[in-house]
Amino acid sequence: MPQEKLHFIGIGGVGMSALAQFHAMGGGAVTGSDRLLDRGEIVDVRAKLEKLGIRLFAQDGSGVDAGTTRVVVSTAIEDDNADIAKARSLGLPIVHRSDHLAELVASHQTLAVTGTSGKSTVTAMVFEILAASGRSPSIITGGALRRLEDLGMLGNAARGESDLLVIEADESDGSVVRYKPEIGALLNVGKDHKEVPVLLEMFRVFRSLSKRFVVNGDVPAFAEFRQGARTFGFGAGCALRASGLETTPGLVRLDIGGVPFELPLDGRHNAENALAAAAICLEAGVPLEESASALKGYRGIVRRFERLGTAGGVMVVDDFAHNPDKVRAVMAAAAGCAARVLAV
């Protein structure tokens, strides 16, 4: 795809900007448009996209021309959009974001992480472990990694030198059923954008399309996924088992497969995230000791129990938690940090 000229409609969105950056980082020509950019919003996104050589246009059709080889759209883009109309008049292929990502998944050694909670964090952890162990991976995800932000990037995409690609496989729009990864990972399930029976059916398809599979063995609803998979969890019977969990403000300790892990994070849920990441990386050939070393310096992602500062003795934390399971996890983590918690 690097030789193609791609145009992204709605390039300011998290999923779209990640794909656009990935293509530009590989030397490809990229253009894009977004109504938020037209209104003078998301200025930081504009600056960082343009820094990669991505040309941004008003969403009036002017960014699409005969040199464009593919137009990528997201679900949020209406059918009467001016860029789409221009692409149709030129006979250009128009593909959905998830179909474009599915092609990238199929052309790489992809590790795809799904589940209703923890995807962004586990995806980031897997990427940081692979990077720290010298495997030079790429990443396409929905959360901004602090480590990448520190390099002046948006943080939701990076392109390495190997064919390893780590992605967050979204179940909320059903696109998870389009991906055929080398390693698929299933973290958990709970009512979120869809009902649990619907989610389980999607996960069955995802399982069937994954060459190898890693699954949370502590989830009763995942019993059917255990056969032939690497299981992880705190319970007996899991192939990779964690124990000795200790949480204090800003620090999580646990043993994973007999190897001590220490994370600069809060909450039991992050112990579970680290366990999942270690299991995925173990399946990819990374020893537990290397995972432990990498996660000791894990920087986290934006708006995941992000400590904004302290004022008047009150610690202020921002978290994107947007389903009941996530809210419960964040509240439990907060309760471990202070005697009194005020949630807004």
List, for residues 116-127, the tens digit of each pLDDT value.
999 999 999 999
**Tens-place pLDDT, residues 216-268:** 999 999 999 999 999 999 999 999 999 999 999 889 999 999 999 999 988 88
- CA-to-CA separations, 291 to 114, 127, 262, 279, in angstroms, rounded: 20, 11, 11, 9
Per-residue pLDDT band for 173 (boundaries 50, 70, 90) equals confident
Using a pLDDT cut of 90, give the percent of the chain over it: 78
Per-residue pLDDT band for 324 (boundaries 50, 70, 90) equals low
- CA-to-CA separations, 117 to 35, 131, 189, 204, 250, in angstroms, rounded: 30, 23, 7, 18, 21
Average of per-residue pLDDT across 8-16: 96
More confident residue, 314 or 56: 56
- CA-to-CA separations, 214 to 51, 112, 163, 232, 282, in angstroms, rounded: 37, 10, 20, 8, 10
Per-residue pLDDT band for 325 (boundaries 50, 70, 90) equals low
Question: Residue 94: helix, strand or coil by DSSP?
Answer: strand
What are the backbone dihedrals phi and psi of residue 319, each rounded to the nearest 5 degrees, phi first?
-145, 140
Average of per-residue pLDDT across 268-294: 97
More confident residue, 240 or 308: 240
Per-residue pLDDT band for 335 (boundaries 50, 70, 90) equals low
Mean pLDDT of the chain: 92
What stretch of H or E contains 244? strand 240-248
Which residue in this structure is represented by tokens 């246009």? 57
**Distance between CA atoms of 82 and 88, rounded to whole angstroms?**
10
Average of per-residue pLDDT across 316-322: 70
Examine the pLDDT at 315 and tell me if it is beyond 80: no
pLDDT at 184: 99
**Tens-place pLDDT, residues 88-112:** 999 999 999 999 999 999 999 999 9
**Distance between CA atoms of 24 and 314, rounded to whole angstroms?**
43
Examine the pLDDT at 1 and tell me if it is beyond 60: no
To the question of pTM greater than 0.85 for the whole model, the response is yes
**Distance between CA atoms of 190 and 324, rounded to whole angstroms?**
8
pLDDT at 318: 74
| Nearest CA among 218, 205, 334 for reference residue 267 | 334
Average of per-residue pLDDT across 46-50: 97
Examine the pLDDT at 314 and tell me if it is beyond 90: no
**Distance between CA atoms of 215 and 192, rounded to whole angstroms?**
19
pLDDT at 75: 86
Task: Read off the tokens for 242.
Answer: 């964690």
Per-residue pLDDT band for 76 (boundaries 50, 70, 90) equals confident
User: Which positions ≥6 away from 91 have C-beta within 8 Å?
Assistant: none
Q: For the chain, which domains are there?
A: 5-96 (3.40.50.720), 108-295 (3.40.1190.10)
pLDDT at 78: 93
**Distance between CA atoms of 231 and 279, rounded to whole angstroms?**
8
Average of per-residue pLDDT across 47-52: 98
**Tens-place pLDDT, residues 129-161:** 999 999 999 999 999 999 999 999 999 999 999
Query: Which DSSP category does 336 fall into?
Result: T
Of 52-66, 124-138, 162-176, the range with the lowest mean pLDDT is 162-176
**Distance between CA atoms of 242 and 254, rounded to whole angstroms?**
7
